Each structure stands twice: as C-alpha cells, then as structure tokens.
C-alpha cells in the first residue's frame, strides 16, 4: 500500500508534466474567444437617439407700445422784494469808520519764545541729562506707618523744556503689594521735583526720568 506522501509526490509530478500543455490550451481558448467577440461586436451599428413624440413651440407676438407722458413744468421761483436804500442812508454807511483794537502787543527788543516740541527722549538718549535742582521727600502715609509697611516705589516723570515735571506715573514698586498704599504719596512728591532741562543738539527737550522713593520706618 502506497503512503500519502508518495501519492502527493506523484500528483505533483503529473501536474508539472501537464503544465505546458494546460498553459498552451488556455492561451488558444482565450484567443479564439477574443477573435469571435471582436467579429461579433464589429457588426453592431449605433443609431442616434430620436424622441418618440415631437413637441411644438407656439410663439405669440405681443405689440407693446409706450405712451409719452409730458412732465409738468416746474413751479415758478418766488420773487424776493429788496428794499432800496435811500441816498442819505448810503452816505451814512460810507462815513462810518470801524476801529479795530490790537489783540497782541509786540516788543521788538524781546526775543521770540523757543518753539514748543512734542518730541520726547529717554534719559540715556540725550546729550545733557537732567539734574535734580529741588528734591521733595514724600509724606509717609499714616495707614502704612501704623501697619509697619515699608518698600520702594519707582515714579517715571516727564521733565519739560523748563525743567519742571510735565507728567508723572507710577512705574512699579518693590514689593508690588505696596504700590497702592505708598504709590500716591510718591506720585505727589515727584510732581514737585525741579530739574535742569535736558539738552539735545543745544536745544532743551522733554526727557523721561526715573525717580526711586524709599519708604522706611525709623
């Protein structure tokens, strides 16, 4: 009795021997089918589509005429009566003289004021930096004194061409919590400072300056 492996091996050899014949047979059948299909399809004719029912479009000519309507004429302009002045009244008007009072007094000996400029500079960007002429110590807030609050407040001021403070604003505080308590007193004192004006190209200019205020209990 033959084993299963021998049977599989024999079937495999048989399939290998028959493979060239089976391949040639498949190619021949495919070619025959292709030739027959090409011959059959070539005889078909394609006819254009034509509708079974025909529709008739009816067209009616409508004569439209536009009548010319004349626009009504515009209303006449109202006449304005102008009273003519008498010769005596015209003579009185011509004789009247109008005195114009001078509004500005000029002195030829005085030099004109320097032009006002809106340009501002930072402290480090000017040739001659502002220097403190009058320093004002801030008033220690009573609430902060009782609570034992100490700190430092930085106020940024804009020094004008005349050396006086034009604008002041709180820049910061250390620690930040003391800004609301000590800031108003520092801002009030900074507005009273007086400086020498900052100079740029031999002209006084507006300069931003930083003023630190130290609040410390003795």
Position 106 scores a pLDDT of 41
Higher per-residue pLDDT: 121 or 104: 121
**Residue 108 in tokens:** 């030829």
Residue 25 lies in a domain: no
Find residue 212's DSSP bridge partners.
Answer: 154
CATH code for the domain of 196: 3.30.2420.10
pLDDT 10s digits, 63-97:
555 556 566 677 776 666 656 656 666 555 455 55
pLDDT more than 70, % of the chain: 63
Residue 64 lies in a domain: no
Residue 37 lies in a domain: no
Higher per-residue pLDDT: 34 or 198: 198
- On the CB side of 158, CA atoms within 13 Å amount to 11
Residue 180 lies in a domain: yes
Distance CA 156, CA 190 (A): 8
Residue 127 lies in a domain: yes
Residue 56 lies in a domain: no
pLDDT band at 33 (very low <50, low <70, confident <90, very high): confident
DSSP-derived 3-state class of residue 199 = strand
On the question of pLDDT at 107 being above 70, the answer is no
- Longest Cα separation, the chain: 162
The range of the structural domain enclosing residue 172 comes to 120-215
Task: Specify the number of domains making up the chain.
Answer: 1
Residue 173 lies in a domain: yes
Distance CA 112, CA 57 (A): 95
């Amino acid at each position: 009795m033959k084993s299963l492996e021998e049977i599989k091996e024999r079937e495999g050899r048989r399939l290998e021997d028959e493979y060239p014949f089976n391949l040639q047979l498949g190619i021949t059948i495919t070619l025959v089918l292709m030739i027959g299909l090409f011959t059959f399809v070539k005889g078909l004719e394609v006819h254009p589509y034509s509708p079974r029912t025909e529709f008739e479009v009816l067209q009616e000519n409508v004569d439209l005429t536009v009548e010319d309507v004349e626009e009504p004429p515009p209303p006449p302009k109202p006449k304005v009566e102008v009273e003519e002045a008498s010769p005596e009244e015209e003579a009185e008007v011509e004789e009247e003289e109008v005195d114009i009072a001078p509004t500005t007094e000029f002195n030829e000996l005085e030099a004109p004021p320097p032009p006002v400029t809106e340009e501002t500079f930072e402290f480090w960007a000017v040739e001659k930096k502002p220097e403190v002429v009058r320093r004002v110590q801030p008033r220690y807030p009573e609430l902060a004194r009782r609570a034992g609050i100490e700190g430092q407040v930085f106020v940024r001021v804009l020094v004008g061409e005349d050396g006086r403070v034009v604008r002041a604003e709180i820049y910061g505080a250390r620690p930040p919590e003391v800004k609301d308590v000590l800031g108003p007193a520092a801002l009030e004192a900074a507005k009273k400072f007086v400086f020498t004006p900052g100079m740029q190209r031999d002209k006084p200019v507006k300069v931003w300056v930083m003023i630190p205020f130290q609040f410390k209990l003795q």
